[in-house]
Amino acid sequence: MSKTNLTRRGVLRTGAVAGAGLALPTYLSAASHSGFTNAPGDSTVTLGFNVPQTGPYADEGADELRAYELAVEHLNGGGDGGMLPTFSSKALDGTGILGRKVEYVTGDTQTKSDAARASAKSMIEKDGAIMITGGSSSGVAVAVQALCQEAGVIFMAGLTHSNDTTGKDKRANGFRHFFNSYMSGAALAPILADNYGNDRKAYHLTADYNWGYTTEEAVRNSTEALGWETVAAVKTPLTQTDFSSYIAPVLQSGADVLVLNHYGGNMVNSLTNAVQFGLRDKQVNGKNFEIIVPLYSRLMAKGAGANVKGIFGSTNWHWSLQDEGSKAFVKSFGTKYGFPPSQAAHTCYVQTLLYADAVTRAGSFNPCAVVEALEGFEFDGLGNGPTLYRAEDHQCFKDVLVVKGKENPTSEFDLLEIVEVTPRDQVTYDPSIFGGELGTCNPGA
């Protein structure tokens, strides 16, 4: 009779060792030896939403966060699906991303580059975020994009309008859906010519940082090509609140157009001051004095109140668009939150869907596979018409909206009216004009 030494403890020990041995390859392939940073496990994947939760753009950040939460809900199969049914790519099916449930962590950029980098770093290193997205400032976007490149994760920019983000500071791991200063200038110019003619003298007030410079340059180039003369361009400190001493000399300069290359609180205050000084009621050089705001947002227009009436600007998207994608997004967002989404919310929602779709089409979370899937990707149904993610600079090319402050708004959201949808071809440019090197994608690990 043979005797077996099978004991309960022995079975447990052997089972544990065998289990660990079998699990080891999975662990190695999923994490440190996956070949890329923060490879997700089998059940969940973590995205990092880095938005201004405090500071001057906190309201814009709050709207971005709402959009991200909505996108996660839709990716996981919740709600009404938002733009998933209207998106031309049908890779996403509401089961998360590659079968993993989408989770997220948030960070506060404070609209400061160093704070934004610190929160992004924390989300990557501590929370295991595989993609970082968000931001309401070009300075922040450029800084976080560079960090993501070094860390080997994908950066899907939120609201950033400077040419630099996908120009001289572009990175292989970074992608921008939002339009840029060049496109604003190119879209606005024909409308300005139609409404104000080709013989104008423009005076620029420009926020003293990189977004201000690129916006001034874009609008100057576009308007000077029309035949306009730029009589002066004055830099204003970002911290300025009272612009009266900058506005007052405008009429003495002989200018008949004031271009406010300002955003956020700067724009609200400078426009308010310009209207207070009665610029819009004046006649100069035999013409009505006009004001232009190259980049508009509904949240800013709300801050400036009635002062925006009749003033031209450009925007990336507006909730009143009547394409199926926009209608679906507005319905979904409006039902959940009680008011229509801002352009910042729209671009953030779209970026999340585009990332998830790219991962799904690539069949991998590897950043280099995602880059490959996004480069040259043509899509539709996300609110901006047919759109191309250009491979050369990772910039989206799509129609640009020229808007005007509405004369008779019917509600607190109904502040801007679309006067022109500028076709994509008209705002497309040679990728080499802004310099910079995309480099190669970095998978990290």
DSSP states along 307-343: GGBT-EEEES--TT--SHHHHHHHHHHHHHHSSPPPH
**Per CB under 8 A, 304 contacts another protein:** yes
Minimum Å gap between C-beta 150 and another protein is 31
**Per CB under 8 A, 241 contacts another protein:** yes
Residue 276 CA: distances (Å) to CA of 30, 86, 246, 268, 281: 61, 45, 13, 12, 10
**Per CB under 8 A, 285 contacts another protein:** no
Of 168 and 201, which has the nearer Cβ to another protein?
201
**Per CB under 8 A, 306 contacts another protein:** yes
Please, which residues have CB within 8 angstroms of residue 25's CB and are 6 or more apart in sequence?
none
Torsion of CA 28, 30, 35, 40, to 10 degrees: -150
Nearest 5°: the CA angle 255, 260, 263 is 175
Which range binds another protein by CB under 8 A, 95-103, 157-165, 269-277, 360-368?
A: 269-277
Would you give the end-to-end CA distance of the chain in angstroms?
56
Percent of the chain that is helix, strand, coil (3-state, to 5): 45, 20, 40
Minimum Å gap between C-beta 114 and another protein is 19
DSSP-based three-state secondary structure for 415: coil
Put residue 345 in one of left, alpha, beta given phi > 0 → left and psi -120 to 50 → alpha: alpha
Of 254 and 423, which has the nearer Cβ to another protein?
254
The torsion angles phi and psi of 258, rounded to 5 degrees, stand at -115, 125
What distance in Å separates the CA atoms of residue 313 and residue 60, rounded to the nearest whole number?
18
Position among 36, 45, 49, 57 found at the interface with another protein (CB under 8 A): 57
Position among 20, 28, 331, 437 found at the interface with another protein (CB under 8 A): 331
Minimum Å gap between C-beta 305 and another protein is 3
Which range binds another protein by CB under 8 A, 19-27, 228-236, 386-394, 420-428?
A: 228-236
**Per CB under 8 A, 411 contacts another protein:** yes
**Per CB under 8 A, 209 contacts another protein:** no
Position among 134, 174, 185, 340 found at the interface with another protein (CB under 8 A): 340
**Per CB under 8 A, 237 contacts another protein:** yes
Of 58 and 388, which has the nearer Cβ to another protein?
58
Minimum Å gap between C-beta 234 and another protein is 6
Please, which residues have CB within 8 angstroms of residue 132's CB and are 6 or more apart in sequence?
48, 50, 120, 123, 124, 144, 148, 153, 154, 155, 156
What distance in Å separates the CA atoms of residue 345 and residue 384, rounded to the nearest whole number?
14
Minimum Å gap between C-beta 278 and another protein is 4
**Per CB under 8 A, 317 contacts another protein:** no
**Per CB under 8 A, 134 contacts another protein:** no
Contacting positions for another protein (CB under 8 A): 54-59, 232, 234-235, 237, 239, 241-242, 244-246, 248-249, 251-253, 265, 268-269, 272-273, 276-278, 281-282, 284, 299-300, 302-307, 319-320, 330-331, 334-335, 340, 410-411, 413-414
